[in-house]
Amino acid sequence: MKKIIFLTILFLLLFASGYIYWFYYNSFSDGSREGLLIKCSRKGNIFKTFEGEMVQAGLRSVQGGVINTNNFYFSVIDGKLADSLDKVSNKTVKIHYTQYRKSLPWRGENYNGKNQENGQYIVDQIIKVSEPMNTGF
């Protein structure tokens, strides 16, 4: 009987460890995005995190056929990188990000439903900064 209880507890611990690793620490994807950086701010009630928003070129259709801009929401863990992003606000920026399946509160906001794909996007590098293109609007 003790062996069954031990094996059950061991199985539950291994399952919980695997679940936590897979959804919270194993990156789902990484890549780069480019757009006009419009916001980088520090916010949060308990865990203060750096959150940013970028407008990407092009438009996307939302439910009902309404056309909206293609905004990309992200979090930044590194304070120095957040300061650098804040300094290049209102410029075209190319950033590198890592996407996780689920969010942890000390890593930033969960923008499920706001980004095109669900998950938590963590920006870890600025690749390029340039002046925004003049569209004539």
Structure confidence by residue, pLDDT tens digits, 79-117: 899 999 989 988 999 999 999 998 888 888 888 888 888
* Ordered per-residue pLDDT tens for the chain, 137 residues: 889 999 999 999 999 999 999 999 999 899 999 999 999 999 888 888 999 999 987 655 555 555 566 899 999 999 899 999 989 988 999 999 999 998 888 888 888 888 888 889 999 999 988 876 655 54
pTM score, whole prediction: 0.78
CA 114/CA 70 separation, integer angstroms: 10
**Contacts (Cβ under 8 Å, ≥6 apart) of 77:** 49, 50, 107, 108, 122, 124
What the chain holds in terms of domains, given with CATH numbers, is 29-130 (2.40.50)
